[in-house]
């Protein structure tokens, strides 16, 4: 009884779905996988030679409103991709992506992945090689029709430096992204399970570098710093000679400098001796006879 209750629990049901979906994927190839929920929207984006010599394929999907969560999903990817590079889910259409665990299994010409998505929105990314030896290049991806969708859109990113670009089906909406790359898009309406959707991109490209490298802003190199003059022996010797010349000029000009300072003093101060002789006038400096009360030369009263 306890075992039956455990089997009927939601976790057991999800686990059982994960176990059955890989086997179903192998048995149903190339037709639709059974047991998948319906999608409200499906967006397929193809970026040829974006960051490597391969096509980056991004599958964005939203489960229909009536799908009970969590929901088990199985999708087949091209065998050459080797499997997904990322599987994630989000709580909103433009919310942050969170990694999602998945299981993978061979399915004929495909790699089947199965996962349980806890929210309505999920995203799968994978790379598939592109032959880049020749200038004329092409890439073909076919949605295998594993899930029905009420609305399907296709977006193709034009490779940088590419020309003669053509896409099937025809994509009539053109726009330019923030990174400067052009995009082509279209709405295709509803698609039923089991109906594949092939997308073919053809173009000519001479440059082998991917778009991410070609569109990378070029770093502005700082101006080269002026090289410091080398200190040579000749320069040093010349500096010593200049210092010596300045010293000799200072010594030669010293007497002239002191004479100029002396000339700027008042005539009376220049004439007055620093030490007066005994009995000399304090005003004019003339010697005086002992006993004189006034200077016989200038009349100044003597001390």
CATH number for 75: 2.60.40.1730
Q: Is the per-residue pLDDT at 272 higher than 50?
A: no
Distance CA 85, CA 104 (A): 12
Lowest mean pLDDT of 151-165, 226-240, 246-260, name the range.
226-240
Cβ neighbour number for residue 187 with a 10 Å cutoff: 12
Q: Do the domain assignments include residue 250?
A: no
Residue linked to tokens 């010697």: 287
Q: Do the domain assignments include residue 242?
A: no
Q: Do the domain assignments include residue 14?
A: yes
Q: Report whether 168 contacts 199 (CB < 8 A).
A: yes
Which tens digits make up the pLDDT trace of 102-120?
A: 999 999 999 999 999 999 9
Q: Do the domain assignments include residue 42?
A: yes
Residues 60-66, mean pLDDT to the nearest whole number: 96
Q: Do the domain assignments include residue 126?
A: yes
Burial of 158 (0-12, 13-18, 19+ CB in 10 A): buried
**pTM exceeding 0.75:** no
Lowest mean pLDDT of 15-24, 81-90, 104-113, 150-159, name the range.
15-24
Distance CA 210, CA 52 (A): 6
Distance CA 37, CA 108 (A): 22
Q: Report whether 90 contacts 122 (CB < 8 A).
A: yes
Total count of domains within the chain: 1
Q: Do the domain assignments include residue 201?
A: yes
Distance CA 237, CA 25 (A): 90
Quote the distance between the C-alpha of residue 21 and its chain's center: 41
Q: Do the domain assignments include residue 188?
A: yes
Domain that holds residue 167: 2-210
Q: Is the per-residue pLDDT at 249 higher than 50?
A: yes
Q: Do the domain assignments include residue 48?
A: yes
For 32, 55, 126, 220, 292, the CA distances from 200, given in Å and listed in that order, are 21, 12, 17, 39, 136
């Amino acid at each position: 009884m306890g075992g039956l209750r455990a089997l009927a629990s939601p976790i057991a049901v999800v686990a059982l779905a994960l176990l059955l979906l890989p086997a179903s994927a192998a048995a149903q190839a190339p037709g639709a996988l059974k047991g998948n929920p319906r999608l409200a929207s499906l967006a397929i984006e193809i970026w040829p030679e974006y960051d490597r010599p391969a096509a980056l394929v991004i599958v964005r999907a939203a489960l229909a409103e009536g799908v009970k969560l969590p929901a088990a999903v199985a999708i087949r990817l091209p065998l050459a991709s080797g499997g997904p590079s990322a599987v994630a889910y989000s709580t909103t259409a433009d919310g942050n992506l969170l990694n999602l665990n998945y299981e993978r299994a061979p399915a004929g010409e495909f790699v089947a992945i199965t996962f349980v998505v806890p929210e309505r929105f999920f995203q799968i990314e994978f790379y598939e090689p592109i032959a880049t030896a020749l200038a004329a290049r092409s890439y073909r991806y076919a949605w295998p029709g594993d899930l029905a969708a009420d609305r399907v859109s296709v977006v193709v990113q034009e490779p940088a430096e590419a020309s003669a670009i053509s896409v099937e089906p025809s994509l009539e909406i053109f726009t330019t992204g923030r990174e400067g790359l052009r995009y082509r898009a279209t709405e295709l309406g509803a698609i039923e399970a089991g109906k594949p959707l092939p997308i073919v991109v053809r173009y000519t490209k001479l440059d082998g570098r991917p778009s991410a490298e070609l569109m990378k802003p070029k770093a502005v190199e700082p101006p080269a710093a002026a090289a410091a003059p080398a200190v040579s022996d000749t320069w040093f010797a010349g500096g010593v000679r200049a210092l010596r010349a300045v010293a000799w000029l200072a010594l030669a000009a010293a007497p002239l400098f002191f004479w100029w300072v002396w000339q700027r003093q008042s005539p009376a101060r220049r004439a007055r001796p620093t030490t007066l002789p005994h009995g000399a006038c304090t005003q004019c400096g003339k010697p005086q006879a002992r006993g004189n009360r006034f200077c016989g030369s200038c009349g100044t009263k003597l001390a």
